[in-house]
Amino acid sequence: MKIRSTTIIAVRHKGQVALAGDGQVSFGNTVLKHQARKVRRLYHDQIITGFAGATADAFTLYDKLEQKLEQYSGNLMRASVELAKDWRTDKYLRRLEAMLIAVNKEHSLLLSGTGDVIEADQGILAIGSGGPFAQAAALALVEHSDLDAEGICRAAMGIAANICVFTNNSIIVEKI
- Check 6, 7, 49, 167 and give the catalytic one: 6
Q: Is 6 in the active site?
A: yes
For residue range 119-131, what is the model confidence (pLDDT) as tens digits? 988 999 999 999 9
Asked whether the predicted pLDDT for residue 163 surpasses 70, the reply is: yes
Pick the CATH number of 8-175 from 1.20.1260.10, 3.40.1170.60, 3.60.20.10, 3.40.50.300: 3.60.20.10
pLDDT band at 98 (very low <50, low <70, confident <90, very high): confident
- The pLDDT value recorded for residue 4 is 58
Give, in order, the Cα–Cα distances in Å from 117 to each of 81, 121, 138.
6, 13, 21
For the entire predicted model, the pTM comes to 0.93
